[in-house]
Structure 1
Amino acid sequence: MSTLIEASEPASCRILVVATAGGLTNAAPILEISRILAARGYHIDFGTLQGQEHFAKPYHFISRVHTLGPGIPIDVEEREYLRMTEWDIAKGFGPVMQTKQFLDSSWPCVYSSLSAIMTDPERRPDLILGDYLVDAVRDMQIEYDIPIAMHWPQMPFMALPASYIPGHAGLQIEVMTSEHATIRQRLINELVPLRIAPAAIRYKRWLRQMRKTAGVHRMLATPRKPDHLMLVNSFFGVEVPKDLPPNVVAIGPVLADEYGALDDEMIRFLEEHRKVLYIALGTHVLLGGGALEKILDGAMSSLRADVIDGIIWSIRGMARRQFDLGAAIRTSSGKHATVQELLDGCNPDFRFLEFAPQRALLAHPSTRCYLTHGGASSTNESVYHGIPTVTIGVYFDQLQNAIRLRDAGVSVPLDKHKFTAQDLSHAIATIMRDDSGSFRQNCQRLQQVAGVASRRKFLAADMIEEVLFDHRGRRNGPDKGRPLHLQTADMRMPYWKAKNWDLSALVGGVTILALGLVVVLPVTLVKAL
């Protein structure tokens, strides 16, 4: 199903942007990169699930929206994200794989819809720019020999290993590198693949059956290095520095040049309060009522102690429903109020918002601390605007982002299962008082680095063009078997040859033979004499 949004002049090349699971957080970065490509004359289409077509409205250059499959029902979304909130990898990885199964469940529809687009000469793109959750894009690369670029919010997990990064990349626990890790921490990370194996095997069986039912009998490979262009929406300073192949490029933080403004009420609130705590736990994070009440209690405790003088909490309807509205919370005045009364605005120093212009709030000088779940967008926006954070990671990359921000010196992380209201108020006080000045210094340092790195979204567009030109030249020339020009040769060689094991064996054999001759020959000559 396709909906024409706005007619546009034909471009030299058509690029299809695809984002399904993950909502606008996953779609926005690749749409921003598409904005640059559209300005260069490329024809941009957008593919997503039903109910998410409105993501394209602010991007007037998009000529056509393709609905790739049904959206996720609200009740299913709420159930699954509540289950994700209960992740506890200390107890096993079964829930993690169940979530991966939920996110991958749209594959049959997306695969079928993309296949229909690829076989239609009027709609077939010259390149697909996809979000990392859309495996069907990689299927299109295999089946239709189309170049692809995949967007990742962080360095890809289970790929690009480094000897000083313990365990599998993207699945680290407690530490991101071995540099200051104890033997226990390193061992815990190295054992993660064994702990995850049973759940991963069940997931692979389900995935294989789903693909087989759709008539696809191959599984997608998970090589150490990709065979396509990979654009990572992060930067070194947050990410652990490591060697990257030419087709993996850190291009983040990808942010829009303009963002929504504060309304008059918010401007007045921020002018009257100079030490504001901003709370936002993302679109999909659904913490249980107990955790939400601890956050309320800890924030109010900070307010009573004059560590902060105002609180703004952005929380959407589905997350609000997790509150116990009758629970009593001690307010900044020392009196008690129910959660419902706080939601209704009974406290002049506390504002609940259904939606907040987040970047405008983070950019305002009155916003001094940010309580976040550590999602990809929130991480990029906090460092770009130089705001220290208290981070409560809930699932997926949020858990690693909490460690990354801690290691960068700009955050105090809290464990979602163990934190108390007192832990939260202490973390806020640690940031606000900043006795050593390290939070201020590191926030300024990282903000400046992020400001420079944010210009690399133009590099992302350049790399996409480069891949297009290379593919067009290979496809139209006599040497059609030539691989992607950015792919390193070791990915097309046997492992033993790429590591020169044969040469090492040859040299070792010759050395042993030579040593043998040196030792044996004199003895033989002496005996002969």
Structure 2
Amino acid sequence: MAPSHFDPHPPSQDSGGAPILEVCRTLAARGHVIEFATLEGRADLVAAYPFASTAHLVSRAVTPSEDRQLYGKFSRWDSKTQRGRNETIECKKFYDDQTYLAGVHSMPSLKPKQDSLVLVNSFWGLEPAKDVPPLLQPVGPLLSDGYTPLNDTTHNFLNTKTSVVYVAFGTHVILTPEKVDRLMRGLCCALEQANQHPSWLILQYAPQRAVLDHPSTTLFVTHAGPSSANEALFHGVPMVSMPFHGGQIQHNLRPVAAGVAKGVDKAIFTPAQLASTISAMMVDSDGEMHIIFSSERSASLV
């Protein structure tokens, strides 16, 4: 069943922009002028950053109906089928057809090769090889020193478990009921294979950093978004990655190659395959669930 309320851009959250704004806080303290460009209706994203002198509105807001349709198509992103290819083109065409507001003529960030300093919340080794501007500087992973703590329910749940699989697909991924069914059956199967009684805690919002930092969290089933990958690596939690669209597909390549993640194809995975992928990372010869490679290996990458 589809959710009754859908907000792919919660007004108080911007997982992609927040780390860069923290860099801007430091630049502003050194005397640099910070200006922020966004869409109509999203200027409040910089309300917590008073050092931003101006918020430029460059284009109209995407309506809730358009958001829902676009992220539904993004989540079905598939280069192997004609429908997937068509919807990819439709999404690109939607953004290409957007026009600037009156008085806005161009954005420097849209230049093919920027001639200004470009700060990227990533690090060498996480990204696949690509052509970049000459003044690009990776400064990631940018993670706050503090984060939302666990509430009592989540804290008590984690404290009573020895091995927890944390499942989250970010803000933008929309799972079809059929994929949810396969995912849940795969997780149940993995627990049964490890002789563990299934125990679930389903949250509308999870304080991800706090969950990943808890010693009971031993595996992260993720969409491999850049923020989630950075956080998992920082906290030393291996991943089963199921990328859905866009940069997630590229971000999935390097953690898998480094041995800190195992990939699962969102389009064709079966419950049995998901269970065996989890078990391959977490089950020893005695059937006890645990991590087979050290958290230090993950953390050393960052």
TM interval, shorter chain, is 0.7 to 0.9
Structure 2 unaligned regions, length at least 5 = 1-12
Larger gyration radius, structure 1 or structure 2: 1
Cross-structure match for 2:7: none
* 2-structure distance, mates of 1:386, 1:254: 16
Report deviation, 1:27: 1.5
TM-score in terms of structure 2 length: 0.83
Matched, 1:35 2:35: no
* 1-structure distance, mates of 2:284, 2:140: 28
* 2-structure distance, mates of 1:34, 1:241: 27
SS state at 2:66 partner: helix
Q: Any residues of structure 2 matched to 1:373-412 within 5 Å, and which?
A: 373-412=223-262
Counterpart pick for 2:107 among 123, 126, 137: 137
Which structure is richer in relative contact order (CA contacts within 8 A, separation 6 or more)?
2
Letter in 1 for 2:283: R
Report deviation, 1:385: 1.1
Deviations 1:101-121 (A, max 9, x none): 333444423xx4545xxxxxx
Structure 1 unaligned regions, length at least 5 = 1-22, 116-135, 139-149, 151-219, 310-331, 333-348, 451-529
Structure with greater helix percent: 1
TM-score in terms of structure 1 length: 0.49
Preserved contact between residue 69 and residue 113 of structure 1 (Cα < 8 Å) = no
C-alpha change, 1:356 and 1:105, in structure 2 (3 Å) is farther
Aligned-pair identity (%): 34
Matched, 1:298 2:298: no
Matched, 1:73 2:66: no
* 1-structure distance, mates of 2:254, 2:226: 12
SS state at 1:371 partner: strand
Report deviation, 1:438: 9.0
C-alpha change, 1:364 and 1:60, in structure 2 (3 Å) is farther
Preserved contact between residue 409 and residue 438 of structure 1 (Cα < 8 Å) = no
Preserved contact between residue 371 and residue 391 of structure 1 (Cα < 8 Å) = yes
* 2-structure distance, mates of 1:440, 1:247: 37
* 1-structure distance, mates of 2:162, 2:34: 44
Report deviation, 1:221: 6.5
Report deviation, 1:245: 6.6
Report deviation, 1:64: 4.4
Matched, 1:357 2:207: yes
Q: Any residues of structure 2 matched to 1:500-519 within 5 Å, and which?
A: none
* 1-structure distance, mates of 2:132, 2:42: 34
Report how many aligned residue pairs link the two structures.
Answer: 284
C-alpha change, 1:365 and 1:54, in structure 2 (3 Å) is farther
* 1-structure distance, mates of 2:217, 2:291: 18
Counterpart pick for 1:281 among 169, 172, 175: 169
* 1-structure distance, mates of 2:53, 2:99: 24
Preserved contact between residue 388 and residue 439 of structure 1 (Cα < 8 Å) = no
Counterpart pick for 2:95 among 94, 103, 115: 103
Report deviation, 1:97: 2.8
Cross-structure match for 1:85: 75
C-alpha change, 1:308 and 1:280, in structure 2 (3 Å) is farther
CA RMSD of aligned residues (A): 2.7
Counterpart pick for 2:296 among 444, 456, 459: 444
Cross-structure match for 1:51: 41
